[in-house]
Every structure is written in structure tokens, then in C-alpha cells.
Amino acid sequence: ENAAQNKDNLPLADNEESMYNHMALYEDDLTHHGKLSQILNRITSYQAGITPNPNDIEKGTGKQKANLGTILGVYLPCIQNIFGVLLFVRLTWIVGMAGTLEAFCIVFICCSSTMLTAFSMSAIATNGVVPAGGSYFMISRSLGPEFGGAVGVLFYLGTSVASSMYIVGAVEILVQYMAPQMNQFGDVFNSYRLYGTVVLLLLAFIVFVGVGFVSKFAALSLACVIISILCIYIGIFVANPDTSLEVCMLGERLLEQDKVMFNGTIMCTKNITGPIYQHYCVDESNTSSSCDYFNNPHTDVKVLKAIPGLSSGIFSKNIWNKYTQQGKVIGTEQEGSETRGEIIADMTTSFMILIAIYFPSVTGIMAGSNRSGDLADAQKSIPIGTIAAICTTSSVYLSCVLFFAGCIDGNVMRDKYGASIGGSLIIGKLAWPHEWVILIGSFLSTLGAGLQSLTGAPRLLQAIAKDGVIPFLRVFSITTKRGEPFRALLLTTFISEIGVLIGNVDYIAPIITMFFLMCYGFVNMACALQTLLQTPNWRPRFRFYHWTLSLLGLALCIVLMFISSWYYALAALAIAFCIYKYIEYKGAEQEWGDGIRGLAMSAARYSLLRLQAGPPHTKNWRPQLLVLMKLDETLQPKFPKLVLFASQLKAGKGLVLVNSVLEGNFRDRYPDAQACKQTLHNLIKEYGVKGFCDVSVATDVSEGLCQLIQNAGLGGLKHNTVVLGWPYGWRHDEDDRSYRVFLDTVRNVGSAQMCLLVPKGINQFPDLGVKLKGTIDVWWIVHILCIRDRKFHWFHFIFININKQINI
């Protein structure tokens, strides 16, 4: 019977008649239990997109079956990871400082960046079978070892630093709003550092004990996020002037509530017996300018509604920006003093700075692909779930910008820590029914996000280490008996502690921005390259993908990096470049069929076609060497130092081909040819020669060598000089074949009008690192020896036969 005919009569994804039905999003198996019981069962097993253990992927010992649908497998994990602490503690401040128009642009640009990256991720997800192992495996198998390793490390660093931002954000909510009495160390940031370190160690211990608690806490964290956002929206629509908090302003200066309190009552008047007069004209904090400002008849004292509501018409007053320099009264260019109760800007703000602070709010789009191995249909769920999550979160962020501007006074929004409303969280005061719903919800959800980052980052590092693309990271591939990456957890905790010691969300966020923008930029670049190069293994089926979207996403990521902080951007690029070159230098042995290899092949093809235009000019002539290597009875090179000799001439940056010929039948001797080729490869690698090697099989050695002289090389990249070993022992050899092969080869080289080098006594050629003294006569081509990096203590006598009419 059709599986869709279940007791709840719901269509399933595998039902052909309903495959295009929107209910296919809820494709979890409903055939055995009722709908309600199945939903509750899925929610209790919700894992929030926690990165799986690489050991489980390799052994196939994952506990979960591949049965997660789009909603629980991709959509909700993305929702939970995108919504973060900045929504609760910084978005109103950004709207207040940037104004409605620029704040909307900031949010829209950041969301556009992640949406374009999501299109590229969807292309990767629909390009063949999605590998288990999460986002890193998807990205690295498309970018290749060099770029994959660099992006993986940047992704890891971004996730590690993000954990510190969540921890510091949670501690800020705790110390600043929930329990202000906990601030016992003078500067509040010192309290953030101390309590943040304690929280970090506690969370790291929880992660070490087991991921089971993290998975169960994820459901609670998700519920807190959703409930908090719903309470904010309800509060937006129920806010009105009658129930609004009130704040006190002296002229254009917003005042702290504690400074205008008298006997528990707010006294916002210019009465000389009031607290404002005392602070401006009587106390030690007063100056002549402050008292003059107070006594100025144009400086009035007014009480404003902090949250007047949507019907107040305050939206028009919040349209334009009010960027402020550090140390100035917020929203003005006037010098201020906190001792007088004025709200002072703790940092300089601008459009670029606010982008860097806000961007971490839109990261987390890869959380849905972290459990790609557990998805019933990853190629469908990842694109739909990720894009739907970005659309949802972007709609929430953009609407919040407009709603905040329409119902909260701009001066109050610019008060970052809520000093004007008694040190309360402005989002909490806005929400319905009570601010503690937001405080508890934001605190738990932020702790949950930090816990997931501390869980995912070590596993990501372990995956990179197990790939072996970065040798010095292999130590972090070792796990405990329970399969937990303890060493990687220690490094992650150390990196996170560095972020915690920064102690300020506003300074941690730009660092995260750089790492994630680099990661997203490389994803877009990989997709664009593979499309433009038309690599045969790149056939994404995501119908909304186009290479221009990836190119636009790459450009946007680069622009955002340098707009946010050009020196952070250069540092991130330098880290990625160093990792890339390190992997390239060490030699990446993995072959993942990546698009970057296709780029190299395309560049090589283009260069070869250009070289085919004609022979090089006399001034550009350089030796392109074909080394004909003779093999002994054991198939080992008879004169290996011919390669060392060629490496000296290679200082001319020319081509080196090392070839040999085996006598016999090709079908019989093909395995021997492959073994000899590997031997030659090891030989040129030992001597540090950047060249190519190959072994041919021919029924006659002379004929085989003749074919090499004629056909070795490709296009314009062909040899012009043949290096041949001297035929020792030909006088005593009963078989004249040895010297006849040599003579035939010499004649063939002459017929091809190529240069011939026959070094006699090559076995006495100095080894690498040996310095010799003496005299050497250099004739023309051998002058290349003179520019070798190794310094020989030789005298050079150069003899050249030259016609005066020749221009050399």
C-alpha cells in the first residue's frame, strides 16, 4: 500500500502524487505513530545542527538514522544559530546610531551576503551526493586541499571566537541587567572577563563530559529564542504612551536615571534644589561651561516617553543617523561627563564600524548542513531549509529595524546599556508581558549558542586534522576513548578565552566578521570558478543558481571585509594565504576533484596556446632539457646525477623532462614502467627539480629514444637540449648495442637540430651541499651554472665564439 495512506492521512515526500505539495517539508515518518507524538519525538531528539564526530562518520556508527526532514534537520538549526545575542543587546543601539535608513541598509547588505552564499551552498549541495560530515566536508571537497584547508581553519577560528562573543554577551546580560550587584570589580568589563572565564570553563567541562546534554539543551535554547522574539513583537504592537517609561533630558543631553532620582522619585526639573542643578553647578563635577549650559534659557528640561509606540509618529525623527565620537554625549558633538549623569559614547561609531559589529548576527547559515549525513534528502533539504531560514531571520531583522524606529525614542536607543531607564535592557522593557521573559530567554539562548560553538569548533578542528592537509594539526585528530576531541577542545577553549579577555562584544564581533566573510567569500569563489571553467564534475541542479550570483557574493564579501576594517581584512587574508602556501609547500596528497585544479588546467592550457605562437626570441632562449636516463638491470637509474646536473642548469628556469625507455612488450612491461616512473619521480623530488618524468616501453631502445626526442613535451613547451649519459665500458662490451644506441641517439639529436650535452664522469659530480674549489671553463650554455643559488668557490673563464653582427 502507498506509504502516504497513514492514520493521519498526511502526504509524504515519497508519494509521487504529492511530491510537489508544500507538506513535503514535514517529511518525517508519520506512518507508525500519530502526528502529535511524532512531532514531540522529533523535537526531543533535536540536535541543533551540531557538527558530527569525524570518527562516527568514518566508522558509520552515528546513532541517528538519515531520516531528518527539512524543518528539524535544516530550518530550525539555522534559525537558532542565526538569531543571536546581538539581536537582544545591540540592534536597538545600531538603529539609534545609524538611523532607520542606514540601519536598514546595514541589515539588508549583511543579509544579502549570506543569501548569495546560501545560493552557492545550495549549488554545492545539489552537485552529486552530499558527503556526511557537515559544512567543512562540503566546502573542502569543492575547493580542494589548499583552499579547503585555509577556509576550514578560518571557519574554525570564527566559530571559536564566536563562542567567546556569546559567552561575553550572556555575561553582559547577567551582570548588566539581571544582577547588577555582581559587578564588584570597578570597571564592568573586568567583571565580564572574570565571570566570562568561569562560564567558559563550565561550558567546556559540559562539552567534555558529553554532547548529550548539549543536544538536549539545544531544544530549550531554541524555545527561548522563539518565545523571546514573539514577546518582542507583541510588545511592539501593545506599546503606547500611557504605559511607557519616562526619561529625562537636559537640552540635547540624555541623563542617567540614577542621577535625577531624589528620595526614590525622578526630579527632572531646573529647580536649584533638584539633582540636575547640583550635578551641573554645585558638585565637583561641575565646570563653568556646564553651569552655563544649565542656566542657558534655551536649555530646557523635558521628560520624554522612552517607548511611545507605533502611533506616536516618532518614526520620522529616527530616520537620520546620529553617529557620535568616543567621549562625546550620545547623539551630539558636545563633550560630556558621566559624573554629571550624561550618557557618554564608549566608542566611535560610523556606518562601517556598525557593519562589522552587526554582521555576526547573520552568520550561522551552515548549521543546517552540519548534520548532512542525517538528512533523508540532503539535496532538497539543505537548499530549501537554509534559504527559508535566511528569509525568516532577514524578515525579522529588517522588520525589527522599522518597528524599533517607529516605537522607541532615538535617544533611548542610543543609550547602549540603558542607563537612562535605570540600567534596564530596552528590548526587555519593550517586550510583553515582562522584561524578565526577555532577560531569561536571551540569557539561556545565548548560553546555548556558546555551548554549540564550543561543541562544533573542536569537531571541526578534528575533521581538518584527520584530513591531514595541515601536518602540524595532526595532533588534534586524537580523541578520547569515548571519541571526544579533547585536545581540540583545549585549543578551542584557549582561543575562546582570548576573546573573553577582550571583554567587549563590540570588539569581538569585527574579528568574527572577518573570519566568516573569508569563509563565505571562498565558497562563492569556488562555485563561480567551477561554473566558468565548465568542469565536468560540476553539475548543480539548484535551479536558482547562476555563476553571477556567486561572483556578486564574492565581491560583496570582499567589500564588506575592507569596509568593516581594512587592517583586520589584511590580517585575515594573510592568515589564509600563509595556510594555503604551507599546504602547497608540504604537498597536499588528497585529490578531491576540486575546481581549483580545473583553474590550474585552464591557465596551463591558455599558456601553452600562447607559447605555440612561434619560437622564442634569441634573448629569451633558455635550455629546455630532456634527460634520457638509462636504467640498470634492477630498473634503477644508472646515472642519477644527471638529474643533479640538470638541476644546476635549471637555474635558467627552463623545462626539465626526465625520461627512460624499457625494452619489451608494452602489455607485459607496463607495471615495470609505472614502478620506474615512481622511482624517477622520487629522484627529481630528492634533488629539488621542478620537472616531469615518464617511462616508455618500446621493442627497440634506439627507436624509443628517437620517439622521445621527437615527441616529448607539449605544444610550445618542448625541449631544445638533450642530456645523455656517456656509454662507459663500450670498449670491453662484447655486445656492440650499447655504443650503437648512443651513436644513433647522437645522430637523431643532430638531425633534430637540438643541443646535446654528454657529461662524462657524471658520477663524480658534486653532491648537494658540497663546496668545491678550482677552475672551470664555461662555454655559453653552461653559463647557467653561474647563477645557481649554491655558491661554488670556482674561478670562471668564459669563452664565446661570436660574430660582431650578432646582437646578444
* Tally of domains in the chain: 3
Tell me the HSE value of 49 on the side-chain side, using a 13 A CA sphere: 33
101 and 170 fall within a common domain? yes
Residue corresponding to grid cell 534528502: 377
Q: Among 754, 769, 784, where does a domain finish? A: 769
> In Å, how far are 20, 124, 130, 135, 163 from 376, measured between CA atoms?
16, 17, 11, 17, 30
> Domain with 760 in it: what CATH number?
3.40.50.620
184 and 208 fall within a common domain? yes
pLDDT digits 0-9 by tens, 421-455: 999 999 999 999 999 999 999 999 999 899 988 98
Would 128 be classed as within a structural domain? yes
Q: What is the average pLDDT value for the chain, to the nearest integer?
A: 83
Would 271 be classed as within a structural domain? no
Pick the closest to residue 100 from 315, 306, 414, 331 (CA basis). Answer: 315
625 and 517 fall within a common domain? no
pLDDT confidence tier of residue 112, bands split at 50, 70 and 90: very high
pLDDT, residue 428, reads 94
pLDDT digits 0-9 by tens, 204-261: 999 988 777 787 888 888 899 999 999 999 999 999 998 899 999 999 999 999 888 8
Would 421 be classed as within a structural domain? no
367 and 495 fall within a common domain? yes
395 and 524 fall within a common domain? yes
C-alpha R_g of the chain = 35
36 and 58 fall within a common domain? no
Residue pair 583/150 in contact (Cβ under 8 Å)? The answer is: yes
Residue pair 702/744 in contact (Cβ under 8 Å)? The answer is: yes
C-alpha torsion 492→496→497→503, nearest 10:
180
pLDDT confidence tier of residue 37, bands split at 50, 70 and 90: low
Residue pair 637/725 in contact (Cβ under 8 Å)? The answer is: no
> Domain with 553 in it: what CATH number?
1.20.1740.10
Q: Which amino acid is at 199?
A: V
Residue pair 669/662 in contact (Cβ under 8 Å)? The answer is: yes
- What is the distance of C-alpha 9 from the center of its chain? 44
Cβ count within 10 A of residue 773 = 8
368 and 489 fall within a common domain? yes
715 and 568 fall within a common domain? no
23 and 111 fall within a common domain? no
DSSP letter (8 states) at residue 617: P
Bridging pattern class, strands 625-628 and 721-724: parallel
Residue corresponding to grid cell 562516527: 56
Domain of 37, in residue numbers: 1-42
Share of the chain above pLDDT 90, in %: 43
Would 733 be classed as within a structural domain? yes
Would 157 be classed as within a structural domain? yes
Separation CA 273–CA 267 (nearest Å): 10
DSSP letter (8 states) at residue 174: I
Would 293 be classed as within a structural domain? no
494 and 562 fall within a common domain? yes
Would 225 be classed as within a structural domain? yes
Would 78 be classed as within a structural domain? yes
pLDDT confidence tier of residue 119, bands split at 50, 70 and 90: very high
66 and 10 fall within a common domain? no
79-93, 297-311, 366-380, 498-512: least confident range: 366-380
- Model confidence at 379: pLDDT above 90: no
pTM for this structure?
Answer: 0.77
529 and 465 fall within a common domain? yes
- Model confidence at 336: pLDDT above 80: yes
